A and B are shown apart, each in its own frame.
Chain A
């Protein structure tokens, strides 16, 4: 038995109350002093002892009542194991069905179910069995049982899913699931034995010693030969009207096939191309659709190849193409004619995502429009006045982000507005001075895909002193921060310690500036969190909109999050193929989910590999020192938690009734009515 809330046990000190009360009661009423007992005789009925026993019974009932009451509050649960007899010859059949995506091929899964049913039928009288499915995770379908009918019944409703099986991960999961059992083990693994499912390290596929019991592996293959399989492995939008589709031959030999490839956008078939593909082993053939017309916003691209082969589920691939117009972004500048504006605008407009720069003069900027923009750029942070600084502070606090540079107007400042970093002294401008980049934090998303920082020629910087809240992303010689970030409230503030006029440094005219601006834009607008094409069983981060995760609909259109989770869930697992829809305030995003491409490769593990595996598993068990040669033990697995508070409530009611009757009798006795 376990207690879910053991802290309530402290209430047991309340038992002292009935004990104390009974002690008072018995001492106060039962003894009476008398001058002499020399003429008295002991009562033959010994009523006193009877009453004392009755008092003790009453006290015991009251103590029992308190104990049970406290116990009920501690939420006791019993872990009951399914009854399964274990004798000297007990064998534990661990039946594991591969339910990964590849088992959808032909009748593979039906065959696997039939094999499992046969195993259940062949169970000996003393044998026990448990049933699991293995895909992205291992799930218990039937806990330990000695009844083959339970195993057979559990097999009826099984279906393959879309996950990928890694045999190493499966064995690790099995280790933890069946460690509590103490019988002799036979692991029956019923699978198509894809080569892609084999663990990188062969040793990972060997189960740990299970309680010192013999373990053996029984291999049940649903097919023995490689099956040819074509799959759509890639859909690329190479231009705004061109889509390139990749078809892969998933067999180990060169093969040709005539396929008709159909492109449907938003459920409307646009084009169909029929072509004979002669692909080398594991090779990809490409097909290009031209003059494709996309709708504005997210487009659902379904590319399917026909005729279908024996695994039709991977003949269709889902892709999302974001054909949204360039995202507007504000560029605040005190001098709209400056070179800095030109450099920033050019970099933003040439970024892969495409941004539409809205240039605003910092002196007549209306901060009320800030809320329409997820992030903004400030050419010279020193140009903003106190009022605007307060508005920007509130904007960042609420989840907005700022990319800012310093400039001539920052020279007179003692600290960076909004960011709050202190500007020290000691650095003077000298034409001959140059600073070198000393350290670049390439793990940061902004700098992850950028190169060329070391080639910058930097002649002038501000003596910014970074505080503990600022994260220095690029450091110059002399420990001067060149790029730093600070999280303020729900937003971010990214500061470049140079002007962008090409006078303090040549950063604006270097190639790294374009990639930096693109990555900074992705980072500050949170777009990096959302990868619009995912694999089954991957996790989708949901914090795209200032911490508000929004509602998520699966491909079937069902809501996946409860109302509470819509603001709290950080990520969600994508278990189905198709399009997931994430609806947040002001945004409606589609994410395409496809099976893992490795599941389409139906090449089998070699016979030699299977033999080696079987030998290694048996070998690991053969080295065991067997206790008495056989297993003799009770077994327990997958204990079921049974809450017993209802039983305690019934007991409490009975105790209250009994206590009332006894207490009433005692009361009548005391008043002389007995």
Chain B
């Protein structure tokens, strides 16, 4: 069943539709609505680690939430252990959100807005699974960085960081990825949310070191439907949102040549991702978020 095509207004999955989410002003509320609706749609499948079936204990390590310490075991053994359930891992999720000016494009809602929903939902989902969460907001520079942690209040902090992001300046992957490599030494999941208007070769050069470092990278490639199939009736003077340069294009070109070019670019990005053993998920900003969450859970399951 295609969740996004469910027109039932009483269905909890209705909240996964971005056009509905855009009416919610609170990003945390958006994330909660998305994830709860998504989880309900999964019928409590244990596959994805949402069951309460106990699996094992593991020793408490620095960075773990103390609330998860099993105090009964502590009273008997005088050692701190954390109780693990099925589906839970001791993983990090690092969210990298592109806030370049091109992310501000969108007919009904911007790609950045969609990216915020996605990032917040992923963070909420990871939080439910007791994963450590971190975030980095970047454009041509690193705008804000929160190292991954599972401490109390992390989710709110990450969502707040996402909420404040604005689409400005251009895109440069070199600086944010270099800084990310410098700070995050522990193996984990890295979700890159961007429109990837960059050279695939340059992308490979920046992301490959992460893969080599043991990070599992999933690339959420956001595109507005207008970007994939632009529809103009007359010659139009387009202005690049990042560089400010203008170019006049004909309707014929935009109808026939441009879709081919953008598809080739997406294919190149996907090929680059495959070359690094990373996942590439193309998301149109008018489609519900459930596919993205499915992809994430599948990805996480594979790498667990």
Q: Enumerate chain A residues within 8 angstroms of B246, measured Cβ to Cβ.
A: 31, 37
User: Once bound together, how far apart are the Cα atoms of A35 and B197, in whole Å?
Assistant: 9
Is the contact region of chain A dominated by helix, strand, or loop, or is it mixed?
loop
Is A35 a contact partner of B237 (Cβ separation < 8 A)? no
Q: Enumerate chain A residues within 8 angstroms of B245, measured Cβ to Cβ.
A: 37
Is B248 a contact partner of A42 (Cβ separation < 8 A)? yes
Asked if B241 is at the interface (CB within 8 A of a chain A CB), the reply is yes
User: Once bound together, how far apart are the Cα atoms of A49 and B245, in whole Å?
Assistant: 16
Mark B85-109 against chain A: 1 for CB-CB distance below 8 A, else 0.
0000000000000000011110000
User: Once bound together, how far apart are the Cα atoms of A45 and B249, in whole Å?
Assistant: 9
Q: Enumerate chain A residues within 8 angstroms of B7, measured Cβ to Cβ.
A: none
Q: Enumerate chain B residues within 8 angstroms of A674, measured Cβ to Cβ.
A: 234
Is the contact region of chain B dominated by helix, strand, or loop, or is it mixed?
mixed
Is A36 a contact partner of B242 (Cβ separation < 8 A)? yes
Asked if A386 is at the interface (CB within 8 A of a chain B CB), the reply is no
Is B197 a contact partner of A45 (Cβ separation < 8 A)? no
Is A34 a contact partner of B238 (Cβ separation < 8 A)? yes
Q: Given A39-B261, A41-B253, do A32 and B248 touch, yes or no (CB 8 Å)?
A: no
Residues of B in contact with A, size category: 20 to 34
User: Once bound together, how far apart are the Cα atoms of A672 and B251, in whole Å?
Assistant: 12
Question: Which residue on A lies nearest to B167, using beta carbons?
Answer: A35
Is B249 a contact partner of A44 (Cβ separation < 8 A)? no
Asked if B235 is at the interface (CB within 8 A of a chain A CB), the reply is yes
Is A45 a contact partner of B239 (Cβ separation < 8 A)? no
Asked if B227 is at the interface (CB within 8 A of a chain A CB), the reply is yes
Asked if B208 is at the interface (CB within 8 A of a chain A CB), the reply is no
Q: Given A34-B241, A45-B235, do A40 and B195 touch, yes or no (CB 8 Å)?
A: no
Q: Enumerate chain A residues within 8 angstroms of B243, measured Cβ to Cβ.
A: 37
Question: Which residue on A lies nearest to B261, using beta carbons?
Answer: A39
Q: Given A32-B237, A33-B241, A674-B234, do A39 and B265 touch, yes or no (CB 8 Å)?
A: yes
Q: Enumerate chain A residues within 8 angstroms of B247, measured Cβ to Cβ.
A: 37, 40-42
Asked if A587 is at the interface (CB within 8 A of a chain B CB), the reply is no
Question: Which residue on A lies nearest to B245, using beta carbons?
Answer: A37
Which residues of A (500-514) have their CB < 8 Å from a CB of B?
A: none
Q: Enumerate chain A residues within 8 angstroms of B60, measured Cβ to Cβ.
A: none
User: Once bound together, how far apart are the Cα atoms of A123 and B104, in whole Å?
Assistant: 89
Q: Given A35-B241, A37-B247, A40-B247, do A672 and B257 touch, yes or no (CB 8 Å)?
A: no
Is A41 a contact partner of B257 (Cβ separation < 8 A)? yes
Asked if B258 is at the interface (CB within 8 A of a chain A CB), the reply is yes
Is A32 a contact partner of B235 (Cβ separation < 8 A)? no
Is B250 a contact partner of A35 (Cβ separation < 8 A)? no
Which residues of A (43-63) have their CB < 8 Å from a CB of B?
A: 43-49, 51
Asked if B262 is at the interface (CB within 8 A of a chain A CB), the reply is yes
Q: Given A35-B105, A37-B240, do A43 and B235 touch, yes or no (CB 8 Å)?
A: yes
Measured CB to CB, the closest approach of chain B to A668, in angstroms, equals: 11
- Determine which of B227, B233, B235, B257 lies in contact with A35 in the assembled complex, contact meaning CB atoms within 8 Å: B227
User: Once bound together, how far apart are the Cα atoms of A672 and B197, in whole Å?
Assistant: 31
Is A31 a contact partner of B227 (Cβ separation < 8 A)? no
Asked if B224 is at the interface (CB within 8 A of a chain A CB), the reply is yes
Is B233 a contact partner of A40 (Cβ separation < 8 A)? no
User: Once bound together, how far apart are the Cα atoms of A593 and B62, in whole Å?
Assistant: 135
Is B234 a contact partner of A37 (Cβ separation < 8 A)? no
Q: Enumerate chain B residues within 8 angstroms of A45, measured Cβ to Cβ.
A: 235, 250
Is B238 a contact partner of A40 (Cβ separation < 8 A)? yes
User: Once bound together, how far apart are the Cα atoms of A43 and B258, in whole Å?
Assistant: 12
Question: Which residue on A lies nearest to B264, using beta carbons?
Answer: A39
Asked if A286 is at the interface (CB within 8 A of a chain B CB), the reply is no
Measured CB to CB, the closest approach of chain A to B234, in angstroms, equals: 7
Indicate the member of A30, A37, A672 with the most B CB atoms within 10 Å: A37
Measured CB to CB, the closest approach of chain B to A570, in angstroms, equals: 72
Q: Enumerate chain B residues within 8 angstroms of A429, measured Cβ to Cβ.
A: none
User: Once bound together, how far apart are the Cα atoms of A37 and B262, in whole Å?
Assistant: 11
Is A35 a contact partner of B253 (Cβ separation < 8 A)? no
Asked if B116 is at the interface (CB within 8 A of a chain A CB), the reply is no
Asked if B280 is at the interface (CB within 8 A of a chain A CB), the reply is no
User: Once bound together, how far apart are the Cα atoms of A672 and B233, in whole Å?
Assistant: 7
Is B237 a contact partner of A48 (Cβ separation < 8 A)? yes
User: Once bound together, how far apart are the Cα atoms of A36 and B235, in whole Å?
Assistant: 17
Q: Enumerate chain B residues within 8 angstroms of A30, measured Cβ to Cβ.
A: 236-237
Question: Which residue on B lies nearest to A670, using beta carbons?
Answer: B234
Which residues of A (62-89) have their CB < 8 Å from a CB of B?
A: none
User: Once bound together, how far apart are the Cα atoms of A43 and B247, in whole Å?
Assistant: 8
Asked if A38 is at the interface (CB within 8 A of a chain B CB), the reply is yes
Question: Which residue on B lies nearest to A30, using beta carbons?
Answer: B237
Q: Enumerate chain B residues within 8 angstroms of A46, measured Cβ to Cβ.
A: 248
- Determine which of A36, A42, A51 lies in contact with B249 in the assembled complex, contact meaning CB atoms within 8 Å: A42
Which residues of B (253-286) have their CB < 8 Å from a CB of A?
A: 253-254, 257-258, 261-262, 265
User: Once bound together, how far apart are the Cα atoms of A49 and B248, in whole Å?
Assistant: 9
User: Once bound together, how far apart are the Cα atoms of A181 and B75, in whole Å?
Assistant: 128
Measured CB to CB, the closest approach of chain A to B144, in angstroms, equals: 22
- Determine which of A31, A41, A43, A51 lies in contact with B239 in the assembled complex, contact meaning CB atoms within 8 Å: A31
Is B238 a contact partner of A32 (Cβ separation < 8 A)? yes
Measured CB to CB, the closest approach of chain B to A56, in angstroms, equals: 16
Q: Given A30-B237, A34-B238, A674-B234, do A40 and B258 touch, yes or no (CB 8 Å)?
A: yes
Q: Enumerate chain B residues within 8 angstroms of A42, measured Cβ to Cβ.
A: 247-249
- Determine which of A36, A47, A669, A672 lies in contact with B248 in the assembled complex, contact meaning CB atoms within 8 Å: A47
User: Once bound together, how far apart are the Cα atoms of A42 and B233, in whole Å?
Assistant: 16
Is B249 a contact partner of A41 (Cβ separation < 8 A)? yes
Measured CB to CB, the closest approach of chain B to A44, in angstroms, equals: 7
Is A37 a contact partner of B248 (Cβ separation < 8 A)? no
Asked if B130 is at the interface (CB within 8 A of a chain A CB), the reply is no
Asked if B221 is at the interface (CB within 8 A of a chain A CB), the reply is no
Is A33 a contact partner of B105 (Cβ separation < 8 A)? yes
Q: Enumerate chain B residues within 8 angstroms of A35, measured Cβ to Cβ.
A: 102-105, 111, 195, 197, 224, 227, 241
Q: Enumerate chain A residues within 8 angstroms of B240, measured Cβ to Cβ.
A: 34, 36-38
Is A38 a contact partner of B197 (Cβ separation < 8 A)? yes
Which residues of B (167-220) have their CB < 8 Å from a CB of A?
A: 195, 197
Is B249 a contact partner of A40 (Cβ separation < 8 A)? yes
Question: Which residue on B lies nearest to A45, using beta carbons?
Answer: B250
- Determine which of A33, A47, A672 lies in contact with B235 in the assembled complex, contact meaning CB atoms within 8 Å: A47
Question: Which residue on A lies nearest to B254, using beta carbons?
Answer: A40
Is B258 a contact partner of A34 (Cβ separation < 8 A)? no
User: Once bound together, how far apart are the Cα atoms of A48 and B102, in whole Å?
Assistant: 24
Is A669 a contact partner of B234 (Cβ separation < 8 A)? yes
Is B234 a contact partner of A47 (Cβ separation < 8 A)? yes
Is B249 a contact partner of A33 (Cβ separation < 8 A)? no
Q: Enumerate chain A residues within 8 angstroms of B236, measured Cβ to Cβ.
A: 30, 32
Indicate the member of B234, B237, B245, B248 with the most A CB atoms within 10 Å: B248
User: Once bound together, how far apart are the Cα atoms of A35 and B243, in whole Å?
Assistant: 10
User: Once bound together, how far apart are the Cα atoms of A34 and B247, in whole Å?
Assistant: 10
What are 17 sample pairs from A and B whose C-beta atoms fall under 8 A apart?
A31-B239, A32-B236, A33-B241, A35-B102, A35-B105, A35-B197, A35-B224, A35-B241, A39-B262, A40-B249, A40-B258, A42-B247, A43-B250, A45-B235, A47-B234, A48-B235, A48-B237
- Chain A contact residues, CB within 8 Å of chain B: 30-49, 51, 669, 672, 674
* 10 interchain residue pairs of minimum CB distance: A35-B105, A35-B102, A47-B235, A43-B250, A39-B261, A36-B197, A48-B248, A34-B238, A37-B240, A43-B248
- Chain B contact residues, CB within 8 Å of chain A: 102-105, 111, 195, 197, 224, 227, 233-243, 245-250, 253-254, 257-258, 261-262, 265
Q: With A34-B105, A34-B238 given, can you name 7 additional A-B contacts, CB distance below 8 Å? A: A34-B241, A35-B103, A35-B105, A37-B247, A39-B261, A40-B254, A47-B235
